[in-house]
Amino acid sequence: MKKLFFITLVAGASMFLSGRSNAQVGLGGFPKSMTLGNTTQVGSATSTLERPDYEKLSREDATRGEGTMFRTGITLPAEIDFHKSGQWTYLDNGEKIWRLSVEIPDAQGIVLMYEQFHLPKGATLYVSNQNGKQVLGAYTDQHNPKSDHYSNEPVVGSVVNIEMNFTAEADISQVKYVIKSAGAMYRGMENEWSQFMETQANTPQYPGGVYGSSAICQVNAICPQGDNIADMRKSVARILIASSAAYNDIGFCTGTLVNSTENTASNCKRLFATASHCDDDNARTDANFQYWQFRFNYLTANCDGTGAPSIASSPVLTEGAKFVSRSNYPSMGQPSENRLVQDFLMLELNDDFTKIPDAWMAGWSKKINYTNEELLETYTQFTGFHHPGGDAMKLAVSEAIDPADRFNQTVVPATHWGVSSTIGGSAGGSSGSALFDVFGRVIGVLSGGPNNTCSDGKQFGVE
């Protein structure tokens, strides 16, 4: 057996957030260019961005060590302003259509990141892939973020179509829509590609993730081995790590909503725990996390992998997060050594809980050791829920734990839990996922271990 490494947490109860039902971010429907038929010709302008050096990125990925984010793309500068781009179509009834296509040659998918995002009443925004099989939206003035910064979940393919429809009364001068950057995804979109290139056009499809793309030996989170702490699945999210800074990395990690001893039912901080190495910029400002995306409840309906997640059950939060606290990355030695003595990152989500159906905030424990008697009689299972390669949620189970382990360094002892999985395993994208004890309390977050195999031994850090 190989070993997983979890950084240890320094206890709080879990909390269920009831009465939440507004799960779907977009309002549904189709842009007018898809519904007008052949009676009206609707044109579009195109903005083509540079082609990343995918071959170089792949070579770099092959040498990236443990304790690094699972990279899936890179950010490109765009600087596209609604008022200075696009093509207009004017309808006889006074309504207007604005369209623009953004192309990144040979990209698997595209993530749009906005520096300004404000829609007036009467404006409706849709974002779709080139063949119209994946449609995001409709977005209206109801979706204007608290800040001007916003992003869209990845759209499959090398072209993304942007369309705004305006009523005759809409005040176009009030539109703020500036695309600062575009993320070019070069891997991690394989299942999306299959899903949206082979289904019937103009049929709304589930716009999320790389469902079914991880190793066959991974175990789906909905399976019975995780039923003893079933509610904790609702605290877990897949993270799409993105930054608007040019040529920064994009990638996947996993994290968990955690409770605070200061929280009450009427005043809850949306604290979210993951691994420090998921952000290798070592940032401590809110701006660095404003384009991060969080997808909750991204799991299959059935243990055999059937029943893909639905839009309503698995929303994506796109308003980013605020910085709370973190350990340094790396926490000792030179950056090239990636030595993770500590490996935690705490954020506060900007989106509110109304977008997460049946959200749970996990409790936590600062227990740092277990007696043999406790392991035999009480703490008989340790469970991790995670998103390997960005796939739908999986689980890993261990019946034993080593409190005196270390990860990727040989100097400081007892920094990590050492866990040898008996069911499932992990891979790139699992980093930052929580290790739960038998009571569903978080006791660590995943730093890493051998990738791409099941029954991995991994290290979960202790903070």
Rounded CA-CA distance 7/14 in Å is: 20
Residues 285 and 222 in one domain: yes
pLDDT in tens, 67-119: 678 999 999 999 999 999 999 999 999 999 999 999 999 999 999 999 999 99
State the average pLDDT over residues 22-26.
49
Q: Which of 198, 233, 259 is the last residue of a domain?
A: 198
Q: Cα torsion for 179, 210, 71, 53, to the nearest 10°? A: -70
Rounded CA-CA distance 426/221 in Å is: 12
- Looking at this protein, which amino acid is placed at residue 459? Q
**Does 178 score more than 90 pLDDT?**
yes
CA count, 13 A, side-chain hemisphere, 162? 25
Residues 3 and 88 in one domain: no
pLDDT in the model for residue 377: 86
Residue 233 — φ and ψ, nearest 5°? -60, -30
What's the Rg (C-alpha) of the chain?
22
Residues 67 and 18 in one domain: no
**Residue located via tokens 């499959």:** 156
User: Which residues, 6 or more positions from 79, have their beta carbon under 8 angstroms from its beta carbon?
Assistant: 178, 179, 180
DSSP lists the bridge partners of residue 323 as: 347
Residue 374 — φ and ψ, nearest 5°? -65, -40
Tokens of 167: 């009523």
Query: Taking Cα atoms as reference points, which of 201, 37, 190 lies closest to residue 131?
Result: 201
Residue numbers of the domain that contains 417: 1-23+204-463
**Does 64 score more than 60 pLDDT?**
yes
Residues 183 and 290 in one domain: no
Residues 319 and 376 in one domain: yes
pLDDT in the model for residue 20: 33
Q: What is the largest CA-CA distance in the chain?
A: 79
Residues 159 and 227 in one domain: no
Q: Which of 172, 198, 224 is the last residue of a domain?
A: 198
pLDDT in the model for residue 23: 30
**Does 448 score more than 90 pLDDT?**
no
Residues 222 and 133 in one domain: no
Residues 347 and 429 in one domain: yes
Which CATH number characterizes residue 438's domain?
Answer: 2.40.10.120
Kind of pairing between the strands at 434-436 and 425-426: unpaired
pLDDT in the model for residue 28: 87
User: Which residues, 6 or more positions from 237, have their beta carbon under 8 angstroms from its beta carbon?
Assistant: 254, 255, 256, 257, 272, 294, 295, 296, 298, 317
User: Could you give the 3-state DSSP secondary structure of residue 141?
Assistant: helix
CA count, 13 A, side-chain hemisphere, 97? 24
Q: Which of 198, 231, 250 is the last residue of a domain?
A: 198
Query: Taking Cα atoms as reference points, which of 271, 296, 291, 241 lies closest to residue 428?
Result: 241
Residues 163 and 34 in one domain: yes
pLDDT in the model for residue 212: 60
Rounded CA-CA distance 448/61 in Å is: 16
Rounded CA-CA distance 344/326 in Å is: 5
Query: Taking Cα atoms as reference points, which of 141, 156, 234 lies closest to residue 189?
Result: 156
Confidence of residue 206 (pLDDT cuts 50, 70, 90): very low
Rounded CA-CA distance 165/185 in Å is: 28
The distance of Cα 433 from the centroid of its chain, to the nearest Å, equals 12
Rounded CA-CA distance 294/39 in Å is: 41
User: Could you give the 3-state DSSP secondary structure of residue 56?
Assistant: helix
Residues 19 and 42 in one domain: no
Contact 152, 318 (CB under 8 A): yes
CA count, 13 A, side-chain hemisphere, 3? 18
pLDDT in tens, 215-273: 777 899 999 999 999 999 999 999 999 988 889 999 999 999 999 888 777 778 899 99
Rounded CA-CA distance 33/180 in Å is: 25
Residues 415 and 440 in one domain: yes
Number of domains into which the chain is organized: 2
Rounded CA-CA distance 49/78 in Å is: 7
Alpha carbon distances (Å) from 345 to 21, 187, 225, 271, 321: 29, 25, 28, 10, 12
Confidence of residue 449 (pLDDT cuts 50, 70, 90): low
pLDDT in tens, 401-427: 887 676 665 567 777 888 888 888 888
Please report, rounded to a whole number, the percentage of residues in the chain having pLDDT higher than 90: 49
User: Could you give the 3-state DSSP secondary structure of residue 444?
Assistant: strand
State the average pLDDT over residues 290-311.
87
pLDDT in the model for residue 402: 81
Contact 292, 253 (CB under 8 A): no
pLDDT in the model for residue 410: 56
**Does 176 score more than 90 pLDDT?**
yes
Q: What beta strand segments (E) does 307-398 contain?
A: 316-317, 321-326, 345-349, 360-361, 382-386, 394-398
Rounded CA-CA distance 272/235 in Å is: 9
pTM of the model: 0.86
pLDDT in the model for residue 282: 85
Rounded CA-CA distance 400/154 in Å is: 38
Residues 193 and 240 in one domain: no
DSSP lists the bridge partners of residue 114 as: 150, 179
Rounded CA-CA distance 443/441 in Å is: 6
